[in-house]
Amino acid sequence: MLLKDRVALVTGSANGMGRGIAHKFAEEGCDLIINDLSLDAAQKVADEIKSRGRRAIAVKADITNVAEIERMTEAAIREFGRIDILVNNAGGVPGTAGRGNSDNITAEEWDRVVDLNLKGPFLVTMSVLPHMKKNNYGKIIFVSSMGAVSPCVSVLHYHTAKAGILGLTINLAFELAPKNIYVNAIVPGPVDTTFWDALVPAGPEREALFDAISRKEVPLERIGRPDDIAGPALFLASGLSNYVTGQILYAAGGQPILAHGATFNIEAYLMGRAKK
């Protein structure tokens, strides 16, 4: 097994990509710290991991709150003695209701979204790093977004934060390489998760949107699934990537092929359908 007896902390792992990553890691012999804002939701996933024969704990923690992050790290060290792998997955645009362009963004909302998607992963990493340095080993994976490099809708705060994640990845990789700590980032394309709830509700409207994105935006002509991100995460978390650090791995159905060409404008699509 690629992660036999390793210990991983995956933030935001009660659903979506985080849950998919946690399950993929467990399949490969990893023990897990499952983190979410909902303890019940995190515990459900922890129980699923335990049913696979691996150890797991659920920890409720807001990744923008230093005290809660420290309690999460302490709980992990108390239970497992170390953290070998950190996946900074938690993020999103909750509560924005489609806001985020230059006509409707506010300074308060900018701060909230950037804190969640850039400062939060930084704070979690700073909490875990002393333990990785002590063990002279670690694998850190950040999750960015195609919107950071090739946006198809204006979400200024979110996409700016996710672009910052790429800079953080490269700089930490440079600093930590001599300490045998690897730092890489995954850039997902459109993946069917609850992330989309803040943009368009689940149902026929979302299905029509996904169909349009698949045909016009993604060379592989389909929306991604959590497992499509879990595979690259496993590669970056395992010994298969022991000569890989400071890299940006696109898991986007071929989307970077279109990064400098015409792209599908989700915002215009939604506005057009609303007028019908």
Does residue 209 belong to any structural domain of this protein? Answer: no
Does residue 273 belong to any structural domain of this protein? Answer: no
* Catalytic entry in 137, 158, 250, 269: 158
- The overall average pLDDT reported for the chain is 89
Domain limits at 15? 7-200+224-259
pLDDT in tens, 59-92: 999 999 999 999 999 999 999 999 999 999 999 8
The pLDDT, as a whole number, for residue 163 is: 97
What one-letter code names the amino acid at 25?
F
In our burial notation (b when 16+ CB lie closer than 10 A, e otherwise), range 31-43 reads bbbbbbeebebbb
Q: How confident is the model at residue 222 (pLDDT cuts 50, 70, 90)?
A: confident
Does residue 63 belong to any structural domain of this protein? Answer: yes
The pLDDT, as a whole number, for residue 54 is: 98
Does residue 265 belong to any structural domain of this protein? Answer: no
CATH classification of the domain holding 189: 3.40.50.720
Interior angle at CA 157, CA 66 and CA 128, nearest 5: 25
Does residue 268 belong to any structural domain of this protein? Answer: no
Q: How confident is the model at residue 262 (pLDDT cuts 50, 70, 90)?
A: very low
Does residue 212 belong to any structural domain of this protein? Answer: no
Alpha-helix residue ranges (DSSP H) falling in the chain: 16-27, 39-51, 66-80, 107-114, 120-135, 156-176, 204-216, 226-237, 266-274
The pLDDT, as a whole number, for residue 168 is: 98
Give 97 or 2, the one with higher predicted confidence: 2
269 catalytically annotated: no
CA gap 140, 226 in Å, rounded: 19
The pLDDT, as a whole number, for residue 260 is: 43
Does residue 205 belong to any structural domain of this protein? Answer: no
Does residue 269 belong to any structural domain of this protein? Answer: no
CA gap 94, 196 in Å, rounded: 9
Q: Strand, coil or helix: what is 7? A: strand
pLDDT in tens, 159-169: 999 999 999 99
DSSP state of 259: T
| % of residues, the chain, pLDDT over 90 | 68
The torsion of the CA quartet 174, 176, 177, 182, rounded to 10 degrees, works out to -100
Domain count, the chain: 1
pLDDT in tens, 135-192: 999 999 999 998 898 877 788 999 999 999 999 999 999 999 999 999 999 999 888 7
The pLDDT, as a whole number, for residue 94 is: 79
Q: Which stretch of 68-72, 120-124, 213-217 has the lowest confidence by average pLDDT? A: 213-217
Region 216-223: mean pLDDT is: 80
The pLDDT, as a whole number, for residue 261 is: 45
pLDDT at 219 over 90: no
Q: Exposed, middle or buried, 94 (CB in 10 Å: 0-12/13-18/19+)?
A: middle
CA gap 28, 8 in Å, rounded: 12
